[in-house]
Chains A and B, each alone.
Chain A
Amino acid sequence: MTDSAVVGQWTAAPGAEEIVTGKARYCPDIQLPGLLCGKLLYSPHARARIRKLDVSKAREMPDVYAVITHADIPGENSYLYAEPDQPLLVVDEVRFQGDAVAAVAAKDERTADAALQAIEVEYEVLPGIFDPLEAMKPGADPIVHGEDNIMMSKMYRSGDVEAAIASADVVIENTYRTQWAEHAFLETEGGVGLVGDDGGITVYSSCQAPHRDRMQIARALGIPESMVRVITPYIGGAFGAKDEAHVQIHAGLLAHAAQRPVHLIRDRRESMLTHVKRHPMIVEYTTAATKEGKLLAVKARVIADAGPYTNSTHEVLNKFGEFIGGPYKVENVEVEKIGVRTNNPITGAFRGFGAPQAAFVYESQMDDLARKLGLDPLEIRLLNGVETGTKMYTGVVVREGTAMKASLEKAAEMIGWEKRDQVEREPKKHLRRGFGMATILKGSGLGRGLADHAGVVLEMHRDGSVVLQSAAADMGQGIITVMAQLAAERLGIDMSSVRVVRADTAKSPDAGGSCASRQAMVSGNAVLEAADTIRDTLLSLAAGKTKIEKDRLDLKAGSLTVDGERHEISVKDLAQRASNWGYPLHAESTYQFEYPTDVPEVTYRYSQEVFQFCTQAAQVLVDCETGQVTVERLIAVHDAGKMINPGGVFGQIEGGVAQGIGYALTEELIVDEGHTQNPSLENYVIPMALDIPQLEMEVLEIPEPIAAPLGAKGIAESPIIPTAPAIRNAIYDAIDKPLYELPMTPERVLPVPDVSD
């Protein structure tokens, strides 16, 4: 893909005009004749038995069209990410504050609220269990459900950790703690359900995985998937939480029960109380090294609070263990992964998927190790960093690892690492300045052994315009732009000639979820394949017409070209000719991500093999009196493989870093005995415009060999991952105090050790 007209260029997003004029419709904006207002009744308790649930009064109210409980669900009463253990509507026992007990659909919001009030629920409040360390003990009481509270317990070993530790010159052990973090997408979860003439159910869903929604809605209604259609309108952010189902299944159930269209939108408080959070983790971490700083062994034991239901806990902890060694050469690794059931909020997917917690641990530890050995943090990272060809402890061989060290060196140069001691360290008596860095790896794609594919349908019309149908959900990350660019590039037309239809399961083949930084790779490659089919037809027609060999022909800027020179025949002429002569310009393609088979044994299950390497460096100013940390500079150097849409790539980095700063310093859901204390945007503190420094960014483009032919890799998740440890290490540098717990609030920063005398 050289000499690109569209790919790699800054380009406005398709749909930009709709967004800047307010025309773009999100779930809450959908209006239909007779649209009812749906509401869910949530439990006010973290754990309680339902003694009585009587909806008869609510059902009799005027203008109330449906009131449903677990007894009214025709099919399976459960969400299904992997384990179907979370009920859509509770049967007998609520297990967290976000459990839903009943659902109503009424003429308007006020009537729906009144109907909720009229539902009689008698709860017997039960003691809950809220400390994962208590919950995992043998004989723990209560058991959240099942036989014990241990949802998962897995051990992974590579090499001989104990022997390596015994032979090491230096061993460091620390315990790290991370918090519940909230996605805070600006559009809360929503769905609109409606019943078609043939009894089929259509659901507009603010989601990341429309085909998985379709499967779950059909399951709950007990009808074939062919009778369910899921459409995504514009989606107002997701960051992982909309990868798991929320209210779209209930919207389908209510529409079915009411036989009318139903709008179901969570308000902000409901949203914060109910959807999955980033797992809080307690990590015991041991690092062993030689006196030269070479890593010998890593030993980790992680205990994650899973809340009462499984959601994606297995998968998140799987990724945590896969990356807990960092982007380093270390052969002896032991990881014990324990997920514990509690009556706290449910936890699951959030940008980075276990990797941000892991990076906070391994990159903090790297600085502790450097200090202990008197080494420079940059040197110790360069000494241990993986390279192209490194076989990691998971058994995965790094195909392309240039960016690991390249990003470190570039970030060091940009922040002025070598000259950082010349910068004023104590600008005022109570202010101290420090520098820190963190470097990470994160995989793109679902992982070895998992079906990882995406299909698209592409059609060129007789006027040369193109419709592209894809079920890849665009939640703002920009996959629609990427796909439009690739189609335009391959077909030699302007982006404005490509219309991308938003995900609709009735029109597009399954593209899987918009998760794991995968869509640019899988859907991107599918678009290239489909476009090449159409392109081939056009070039064959052109060769026939011009009597010039096909391999001298190309399509560019709306025209046929011969040996790179513009020809008078346009792409539109060719499209018309194809249409007249009966050559269909229609192609469907499914790209299947293939993991290389010529590798030594990969011992870590579902490991990813395309890596996003990146380094961030931070300069902070710590107020020793208030404990306030100001991020003065933040450098981010990321590898994108091949940059398709620079606006989107830089946007992902900026946004990820902003979320990373919040994760590092202020964001924490406060949960007291299962009750969330700050379910509002006022009290859950997220960095706003004035809290984020001007970012200094650099993107490396080192093509990824196994994501061929495109060579691009996902960039969506890596930006949030190194930010917290980079800031942590800068705080350590500034005040000589290592922190082991997130977020690094003033209470944790204080007291600052006195180093002046």
Chain B
Amino acid sequence: MAEMEIKFDVNGKQVRVSAEPNKTLLSVLRENLGLTGTKDGCSSGDCGACVVMLDDRPVNSCMVLAPQAEGSSVVTIEGLASNGELHPVQRAFGETWAFQCGFCTPGILVSCYALLESNDDPTREEILTAVAGNFCRCTGYQGVVKAVEQAAAEIRAANKSGGGS
């Protein structure tokens, strides 16, 4: 199959890749761009390990063909930190033991990041719903809830003191 050129933004940087049009966004991120933080757990949209933001929406990148990203903006786990500083939810994950093996973490973190972008005071139910498509075999998601609650509190405090963006 002939390759085609695809242009899109990844983590704030414009990229141009040549890929066969039947390649998934996941394989382009991992193979063409070397962004191996995003994981492949099933290649069938069941596990959520490959969740990335595509134009402000969390998607399973194994279920998106790379050409669909043309002109879009993609955020992966590698793009959650800004100016060398971890996003509050990244820091909270480490502190609350929201992961064990860590393989599902990139996808779960992006799902949680998506939630916090639109809701800085989520309920337990809202948090669990946000990660309902993310499979984690190690934890029972209790740490994830704690981490998101902790990050949300931090974000609210920062916004209140005017330090938020």
Interface residues of A (CB under 8 A from B): 10, 12-13, 15-17, 19-26, 28-29, 31, 183-188, 234-237, 239, 267-268, 475-478, 647-648, 650-651, 654-655, 657-659, 680-682, 686, 688-690, 692, 694-695
Output the least CB separation between B94 and chain A (Å): 3
Bitwise, B22-38 to A at CB < 8 A (1) or not (0) is 00000000100011111
Does the CB pair B34–A239 fall under 8 Å? Answer: no
Distance A694 CA – B103 CA, assembled complex (angstroms): 23
Does the CB pair A20–B43 fall under 8 Å? Answer: no
Does the CB pair B128–A22 fall under 8 Å? Answer: no
24 sampled A-B residue pairs with Cβ under 8 A: A12-B94, A15-B102, A16-B94, A17-B86, A19-B93, A19-B105, A20-B91, A21-B90, A22-B35, A22-B77, A183-B137, A186-B135, A187-B39, A188-B41, A236-B101, A236-B102, A237-B137, A268-B42, A268-B44, A648-B97, A651-B138, A681-B42, A681-B46, A694-B124
Q: Which of B115-123, B140-148, B156-164 contacts A (4 or more CB under 8 A)?
A: B140-148
Q: Which chain A residues border B132 with CB–CB below 8 Å? A: 688-690
Q: Is B136 an interface residue (CB 8 A)?
A: yes
Output the least CB separation between A11 and chain B (Å): 9
Does the CB pair B41–A681 fall under 8 Å? Answer: yes
Does the CB pair A658–B139 fall under 8 Å? Answer: yes
Q: Which chain B residues border A22 with CB–CB below 8 Å? A: 35-38, 76-78, 106
Interface residues of B (CB under 8 A from A): 30, 34-44, 46-47, 49, 76-78, 80-81, 86, 90-91, 93-97, 99-106, 109, 124, 128-129, 131-144
Does the CB pair A654–B136 fall under 8 Å? Answer: no
Shortest 3 CB-CB contacts between residues of A and residues of B: A22-B37, A476-B101, A236-B103
Q: Which chain A residues border B90 with CB–CB below 8 Å? A: 20-21
Does the CB pair B77–A186 fall under 8 Å? Answer: no
Does the CB pair A20–B103 fall under 8 Å? Answer: no
- Report if A24-B102 is in contact (Cβ < 8 Å); known contacts: A16-B93, A682-B44: yes
Distance A690 CA – B144 CA, assembled complex (angstroms): 12
B interface, by DSSP: helix, strand, loop or mixed?
A: loop
Distance A526 CA – B141 CA, assembled complex (angstroms): 32
Q: Which chain B residues border A236 with CB–CB below 8 Å? A: 39, 101-103
Counting chain A CB atoms within 10 Å of each CB, the highest count among B49, B93, B94, B102 belongs to B102
Q: Which chain B residues border A16 with CB–CB below 8 Å? A: 93-94, 99
Q: Which chain B residues border A655 with CB–CB below 8 Å? A: 100, 137-140
**Residue from B44, B76, B99 within 8 A of A19 (CB atoms):** B99
Distance A183 CA – B93 CA, assembled complex (angstroms): 24
Does the CB pair B142–A654 fall under 8 Å? Answer: yes
Q: Which chain A residues border B47 with CB–CB below 8 Å? A: 186, 681
Closest A residue to B38 by beta carbon equals A22
**Residue from B46, B101, B103, B143 within 8 A of A680 (CB atoms):** B46
**Residue from B37, B138, B140 within 8 A of A476 (CB atoms):** B138
Does the CB pair B134–A689 fall under 8 Å? Answer: yes
Distance A682 CA – B135 CA, assembled complex (angstroms): 11
Q: Which chain A residues border B138 with CB–CB below 8 Å? A: 186, 237, 476, 651, 655
Distance A24 CA – B133 CA, assembled complex (angstroms): 22
Distance A15 CA – B105 CA, assembled complex (angstroms): 13
Does the CB pair B36–A186 fall under 8 Å? Answer: no
Does the CB pair B97–A13 fall under 8 Å? Answer: yes
Does the CB pair B46–A689 fall under 8 Å? Answer: no
Does the CB pair A185–B129 fall under 8 Å? Answer: no
Closest A residue to B47 by beta carbon equals A681
- Report if A475-B101 is in contact (Cβ < 8 Å); known contacts: A267-B43, A689-B141, A690-B129: yes
Output the least CB separation between A723 and chain B (Å): 11
- Report if A650-B43 is in contact (Cβ < 8 Å); known contacts: A19-B102, A689-B141, A690-B128: no
Does the CB pair A187–B94 fall under 8 Å? Answer: no
Q: Which chain B residues border A477 with CB–CB below 8 Å? A: 100
Closest A residue to B42 by beta carbon equals A268
Q: Which chain A residues border B41 with CB–CB below 8 Å? A: 186-188, 268, 681
Closest A residue to B91 by beta carbon equals A20
Distance A692 CA – B141 CA, assembled complex (angstroms): 8
**Residue from A10, A31, A237 within 8 A of B36 (CB atoms):** A31
**Residue from A28, A183, A234, A658 within 8 A of B140 (CB atoms):** A658
